[in-house]
Structure 1
Amino acid sequence: MSENTSTAATATEPLHEIYWRETEPVTPGPPLIEDIDCDVCLVGGGYTALWTAHFLKLAEPGLDIHIVEADYAGAGASGHNDGFVTPTIGHNLSTLVRRFGVDRAKLAYTLVGRSILELAHFCRKYEIDADFETRGYYQVATDQAQIALLRKDLAIAERIGAASGLALLGRDQMRERIGSPAIRAAVKVGGATVNPHRLVRGLAAVVRGQGVHIHEQTSATGVEAHGGGYTISTPRARITARKLVLATNAYQHRFQEFRRAVIPVWSYAAVTEPLSDERLAQLHWPDREGFVEAGNFIVFARLTAQHRLLVGGGPVRYAMGRDMSERRHIDNPAATRVLREVLARYFPCWHDVPFTHSYGGCVAITREFVPHVGAVGDNLFYGYGYCGNGIAVTHTSGKVLRDLILGRESSYTGLLFVNRTEQRFPPEPFTFVAAKAMSSLLALQDRYPKVGKR
């Protein structure tokens, strides 16, 4: 869809469709129609499966690897997230240090930070035009309670040796970087922004070029263990694999072994029409870094390469029974109103810029707010639960899964989120009730910071 068509179609009502999908059209590949036998089968066509296949092929080019994907490669969260490439593992750094200690948190952040650099190199090497911009991003505060959170994060970063170059910037300093009247303080963090859809599609093309078979429009309807391997049933054929990787993230609960290990929650974003040169000149934002507001329910904003403003975040929603239906949930008028308020609060000069797109997508949440990557026995592997911060961590997880599949011990296989004993969510309706209660508590803490422990 062209920019002109999109803007005209959304003059009064935004499209409830993923914006990124307009930036590169996709024609899904043909479904699998013949039985096959292979070394490794990966279920899910997102970042986790694709990076794992990529690193396996680099290590062992002779492996016969097949990926099955119900839609097209990157159709899920990999291709429709908000494009922040961050070193964050799970929810936040303080939780990680408290639960796993300084040394393990430091190693994990070091390796995920390395992944950010390698992602930039990957795009250059394979000429993937994904608008990968390594300008970093800001964690911002709009009140004293959020400033206190930033100070706490700086102290923790210093404990793990990651504070070099980090400093708390005041209101006047931030006005020189982002001219938003709402920002009172900020810390600039290493990271990047990217068009996630074009990144995952480029990655899929690279993986295909390595000889990996990606079967799109091919859902896994059943998995059965046999001997030392697995049989994966699809609507028209079966795959027999010696090793199996389940990498479906928010859909992971559909496999019995992981039924209560992860829940999908709905997070929302909105995108404006392209900002004209005159509009852009109304706000001082010279380096175009994105920013994320400190809090339990973060809000964030960034500019796209097409000069659109993307805003997102706010309260998330869990739908009873792990309902992931886009038809029922992609449009959320209440979430759109919140995002309109976010835009007006941070950018009053752009308060009347219309949204052309407003949409939701599912984020995979684990009970402990950390990813889960590992193995069940010798031949079943998994990776999921990135809690909304998956672009860099999935790259790291691909190396973890490579080493686990090949039977190697490495710094990756010893990471804090690998082969952990997982806490499970309760059965329904208790998960729904608990999710509602936790959401209310977190929202109350954001409004009244002294309520309970964060």
Structure 2
Amino acid sequence: MATISTPGHTATTGIKHSIYWRDTEAVEPGPPLDRDVRCDIGIIGGGYTGLWTAYFLKQADPSLDIHIVEMDYAGAGASGHADGFVTPTIGHSLAGLVHGFGTDRAKTAYAVVGRSMLELDRFCRKHDVDAELETTGYFSVAANDAQIRLLRRDVELAESIGAKNSLRLLDGDEARERIGSPAIHGAFKVGGALLNPHRLARGLARVVRNLGVHIHEQTMATSVTKENGRHVITTPGGRVVADKLVLGTDAYQHQFGGFKHGVKPVWSYAVVTDPLTDEQLSRVHWPEREGFVESRNFIIFGRFTKDNRLLFGGGPAPYFYGRDMSENRHMRRDQATAFLRGALTRYFPEWDDVRIAYSYGGCVGMTRDFVPHVGNTDDGVYHAYGYCGNGIALTHTAGKILRDLILGRDTTYTNLLFVNRKERRFPVEPVSWVGAKGLTALLSLQDRYPNLIRAQLV
């Protein structure tokens, strides 16, 4: 079997600049498309969005003929390099959603995504997908007094959308009984899970194939046109002619006509350590292994992997001019490695001798209003993108939305707040790049001096 790797620089640092998850399960990509095909549904993108859409369509109507084209292998993009937090978060934050759309609509959306979180666990058990899923939930934590205020606000907002009796703000001593970090001054528990995103994507692809969906890996869509009322996906090896077209490409969505200014790819970075020894594990009290997320604009998060490595991620999320997504140029970012090494030491000084084994980045899709967009155009193009780094549960929900839109159903899913709504567009370059730099500076300033800017910025 051939393993898929990304460009790395290991000679001088000893750190692998490739995505850790990819080393947990080898990948042998399936064959590319080598002929013309005619089908009911053509899907571009073999990540969670495309795979869940195909899965739910096949569940609803097994007779549908569905073809997926994927330029690399199923799960190679954001789906496979995510950090493995299964969260109810929609877009950037609960506060932004409630303030932007109101309590009632936010409540409905969070209830639906919460259902997806539960169904992910059931899916893995039903289909024997070993995604290393741990239903531990995670903690939203505060590292200073200003962040304590943010936690209180989020608890109140969560209660307003129906999370009564389930959230309790822990003080510093109580929080450190759950995660023994001197940096944690308060916390509350959030329902959710931790998993291996790469193994989930590969397992989902196997299930979808077994349902009769055709997945053409190593197949680049070079153009998308419409001929005689049907959508035509042209690839180097053949064409897919489909009655309906799904674009499930998230951070790559800007490469398709009509979506260029709807989504922006920003880079998210993570570091992963060597596996901790029993002696190293004994230094910190962390009995239930929950993950945690620090309450700030540029979040910092930490978690264990199945083999007892520490994964730390987050921090500044750069956008590179011209929507540059080159792994050759940006997979390795020494500033991100240093920042996350510092965060790890701040949270767990007892582990300052633990070696960083991996440091890497990958793109996530951000929209200008910081919520995802799911919907369809008048000419039968269906889409879902802009999960803002919180897509593991949301893509499951998006698959149901796209199923219902494609089948012409009017359901709770098709009426969610982020379905077929008018979106704000990003400006052209260089204005887009300048704006991203300015917003990053402002959000970083608020993270560093939270009492200076108290307004909700995003």
TM-score range (shorter-chain normalised) is: over 0.9
Note the C-alpha offset of 1:11: 9.5
Note the C-alpha offset of 1:225: 1.5
Note the C-alpha offset of 1:165: 1.3
Aligned mates of 2:400, 2:415 — CA distance in 1? 12
Question: Does 1:447 pair with 2:448?
Answer: yes
Q: Which residue of the partner structure matches residue 373 of structure 1?
A: 374
Q: Secondary structure of the residue that 2:188 maps to in structure 1?
A: strand
- Compared CA separation, residues 239 and 115, structure 1 to 2 (3 A): same
Q: Which residue of the partner structure matches residue 123 of structure 2?
A: 122
Q: Counterparts of 1:166-245 in structure 2 under 5 Å?
A: 166-245=167-246
Q: Secondary structure of the residue that 1:369 maps to in structure 2?
A: coil
Instruction: Check whether the contact 1:33–1:237 (CA below 8 A) recurs between aligned residues.
Output: yes
Report Cα offsets for 1:128-160 as digits up to 9, x if no partner.
111111111000001000000000011111111
Aligned partner letter, 1:360: G
Instruction: Check whether the contact 1:11–1:356 (CA below 8 A) recurs between aligned residues.
Output: no
Aligned mates of 1:142, 1:189 — CA distance in 2? 17
Note the C-alpha offset of 1:422: 0.9
Note the C-alpha offset of 1:12: 4.2
Aligned mates of 2:125, 2:313 — CA distance in 1? 28
Question: Does 1:270 pair with 2:271?
Answer: yes
Q: Counterparts of 1:40-439 in structure 2 under 5 Å?
A: 40-439=41-440
Q: Secondary structure of the residue that 2:436 maps to in structure 1?
A: helix
Aligned mates of 1:238, 1:79 — CA distance in 2? 27
Report Cα offsets for 1:401-429 as digits up to 9, x if no partner.
00000000000000000001011000000
Aligned mates of 2:262, 2:336 — CA distance in 1? 27
Instruction: Check whether the contact 1:138–1:188 (CA below 8 A) recurs between aligned residues.
Output: yes
Aligned mates of 1:78, 1:12 — CA distance in 2? 27
Report Cα offsets for 1:158-190 as digits up to 9, x if no partner.
111123310100111112111101000001000
- Compared CA separation, residues 10 and 310, structure 1 to 2 (3 A): farther
Note the C-alpha offset of 1:222: 0.3
Calculate percent identity across the aligned residue pairs: 62
Report Cα offsets for 1:295-319 as digits up to 9, x if no partner.
0000000000000000000001000
Aligned mates of 1:429, 1:452 — CA distance in 2? 29
Note the C-alpha offset of 1:226: 2.3
The Cα RMSD (Å) is 1.3
Aligned mates of 2:152, 2:40 — CA distance in 1? 49
Q: Which residue of the partner structure matches residue 5 of structure 1?
A: none
Aligned mates of 2:132, 2:349 — CA distance in 1? 27
Aligned mates of 1:453, 1:424 — CA distance in 2? 23
Aligned mates of 1:321, 1:240 — CA distance in 2? 31
Aligned mates of 1:434, 1:306 — CA distance in 2? 41
Aligned partner letter, 2:191: G
Aligned mates of 1:158, 1:137 — CA distance in 2? 18
Aligned mates of 1:59, 1:378 — CA distance in 2? 23
Note the C-alpha offset of 1:448: 1.4
Aligned partner letter, 2:446: Q
Q: Which residue of the partner structure matches residue 6 of structure 2?
A: none
Instruction: Check whether the contact 1:10–1:355 (CA below 8 A) recurs between aligned residues.
Output: no
Report Cα offsets for 1:258-317 as digits up to 9, x if no partner.
000000001100000000000000000000000000000000000000000000000010
Note the C-alpha offset of 1:378: 4.8
- Compared CA separation, residues 145 and 452, structure 1 to 2 (3 A): closer
Aligned partner letter, 1:221: T
Note the C-alpha offset of 1:101: 0.8
Aligned mates of 1:299, 1:137 — CA distance in 2? 13
Aligned mates of 1:179, 1:188 — CA distance in 2? 15
Alignment: residue pair count: 448
- Compared CA separation, residues 434 and 452, structure 1 to 2 (3 A): farther
Report the TM-score when normalising by structure 1.
Answer: 0.97
Aligned partner letter, 1:119: L
Aligned partner letter, 1:56: L
**Unmatched 5+ stretches in structure 2:** 4-9
More off after superposition, 412-421 vs 376-385:
376-385
Report the TM-score when normalising by structure 2.
Answer: 0.96
- Compared CA separation, residues 282 and 11, structure 1 to 2 (3 A): farther
More off after superposition, 143-152 vs 222-231:
222-231
Note the C-alpha offset of 1:363: 1.1
**Unmatched 5+ stretches in structure 1:** 3-8
Aligned mates of 1:362, 1:352 — CA distance in 2? 30
Q: Secondary structure of the residue that 1:108 maps to in structure 2?
A: helix
Report Cα offsets for 1:235-265 as digits up to 9, x if no partner.
1211110000011000000002100000000
More off after superposition, 442-451 vs 106-115:
442-451
Q: Secondary structure of the residue that 2:175 maps to in structure 1?
A: helix
Aligned partner letter, 2:404: D
Aligned partner letter, 1:55: F
Note the C-alpha offset of 1:13: 2.4
Q: Secondary structure of the residue that 2:243 maps to in structure 1?
A: strand
Q: Secondary structure of the residue that 1:39 maps to in structure 2?
A: strand
